[in-house]
Amino acid sequence: MRNIIKLSSILTLVTAIAALALAGVNTITKPLIEEQMRLAVHNALLEVLPEASGGVCVDVGEKKGELFEAYSSPDTTGLAGFAFKAYGKGYSSTIETMVGLDLNGNIKGIKILFQQETPGLGSKIEEIKYGKSKPWFQEQFKNKNAERVAVDKDDGEIKSITGATISSRAVTNSIRNGFKKIKPRLEKIIKGEQK
């Protein structure tokens, strides 16, 4: 009996010290991690909506980081476009893409935020070809209408990646479906702006 008390009190002591140490580390790294996540979203926004580089992006989504209004000047005048996050089930992961739109629903640029597709096949959605500076697959989306964007196998204009139709289709369809979902809201925002 006495042995049990001794053993459990030692174990309690060890875990308490561990918890204390972890709490300490967490207070140091928490702001750093949040800053990194904010930076990642910020950089993605700049890349998909170059028009907003002199202005601001305002988070207007129901969930944080899902939908943004972009303004061409810092005092939230001159609505320049929107950006939204699209989620698509790929071959081995849920692919997250940031999509930039102008006011007519045309894609200004996309940026894959997260993917864990098969290296060498599906991961080519982020491939940058030798001597180029931008990923060729994502570049194709520029100036395409978000409502009608589709891969070539679905009679669309996006050339899918050889051997990775599932990943190509996941990105493309997630953008089209994501846009359809937010379209009524965007129209409302644009109308409000014109009044």
Partner 1 sequence: MTLSGELLKGIYKENPVLRLALGLCPTLAVSNSVINGIGMGTAFTFVLLGSNIIVSLIKKGVPDKIRIPVYIVIIASFVTIADLFMAGFAPKLHKALGIFVPLIVVNCIILGRAEAFASKNSLGRSILDAIGMGIGFTLTLVFIGFFREFLGDGKVLGTPVMGSSFEPVLLFILPPGAFLSLGFLMGFLNWIDSKKVRK
Give the residues lining the site for partner 1 (CB under 8 A): 6-7, 10-11, 14-15, 18, 21-22, 25-26, 28-29, 32-33, 36-37, 40, 114, 116, 118-121, 129-131
| Minimum distance from residue 7 beta carbon to partner 1 (Å) | 5
| Minimum distance from residue 93 beta carbon to partner 1 (Å) | 10
What does the H/E/C string look like for the chain? CHHHHHHHHHHHHHHHHHHHHHHHHHHHHHHHHHHHHHHHHHHHHHHHCHHHHHCEEEECCCCCCCEEEEECCCCCCCEEEEEEEEEEECCCCEEEEEEEECCCCEEEEEEEEECCCCCCCHHHHHCCCCCCCCCHHHHCCCCCECCCCCEHHHCCCECCCCCCHHHHHHHHHHHHHHHHHHHHHHHHHHHHHHC
Residue with smaller CB distance to partner 1, 27 or 104: 27
| Minimum distance from residue 18 beta carbon to partner 1 (Å) | 4
CA gap 19, 13 in Å, rounded: 10
| Minimum distance from residue 190 beta carbon to partner 1 (Å) | 35
Residue with smaller CB distance to partner 1, 29 or 94: 29
Residue with smaller CB distance to partner 1, 31 or 192: 31
| Minimum distance from residue 26 beta carbon to partner 1 (Å) | 6
Residue with smaller CB distance to partner 1, 76 or 116: 116
